[in-house]
Structure 1
């Protein structure tokens, strides 16, 4: 499988031990996700969180696969808090309670991927695909907390 990325600054660092814990959590909760994809999800989620932290007034919405990674991460509360501390801001996970049209969610995901690209980070096209980009676990979608 091709990992499509833009030429950009390096991805955000995640320690090997944390990467292994998060990848294992993702694979245990989503058996259809293999080890290679789980690892890419961890990387993509780290970048999403870094850009979210750097843009505190900008609402950012993860793709369905990035949301899988974010959910895995917030279950490891100490690791998540420590990682957010390295980013300079705690990135709150805020589920959207009201129903929204799928097109609105897809537009928000596309806008978020564009923000990540404009920040100079790599964007894995498969992780940010928006064809069926409804949130995987929060029903109507999730965002950070601007």
Structure 2
């Protein structure tokens, strides 16, 4: 999906934002975010969310705006990111299971170690937003009535 140079640029952003992270972990995170963005583009009406680790890669990818826009164009739709502050009242216990299932349906094998769930993390990352949709369609893929992201498109 990306050239080696593009991939390495995004990986470098993950590393820059997370001092001390092992380079191989940053590689795994970028690979996983690409799988997530593909799944999100293929299934735009299903509420899915990345883990915090994968979200860190998504943040890094989005910072490369031209690259991200080009990738989304090739995928047929822009996958918007609607960050939300963590809030237990919005927690959807099935969101990660749905996300993994759709990544698999898109033809990829998710990295199981980067999807352990919201209560624990494999690595510490800088990302502090959460993507736990409330009933009615709020979240990173299908924004709705969440005041925290300010979007209604």
Q: TM-score normalised by the shorter chain: which range applies?
A: 0.7 to 0.9
> 2:49 maps to which residue?
61
Quick one: distance in 1 between partners of 2:98 and 2:105? 10
- 1:53–1:88 CA contact under 8 A, matched in 2: yes
The alpha carbon displacement at 1:133 in A equals 5.6
Given the two structures, how large is their TM-score scaled by the length of structure 2?
0.76
Structure 2 unaligned spans of 5+: 133-138, 144-153
Quick one: distance in 1 between partners of 2:56 and 2:93? 16
Going from structure 1 to structure 2, the CA distance change for 1:106 and 1:24 (only over 3 Å counts) comes to: farther
Given the two structures, how large is their TM-score scaled by the length of structure 1?
0.79
> 2:25 maps to which residue?
37
Structure 1 unaligned spans of 5+: 1-12
Candidates 124, 142, 145, aligned match of 1:145? 142
- 2:72–2:79 CA contact under 8 A, matched in 1: yes
Instruction: Calculate the aligned-residue CA RMSD, in Å.
Output: 2.4
The alpha carbon displacement at 1:101 in A equals 4.2
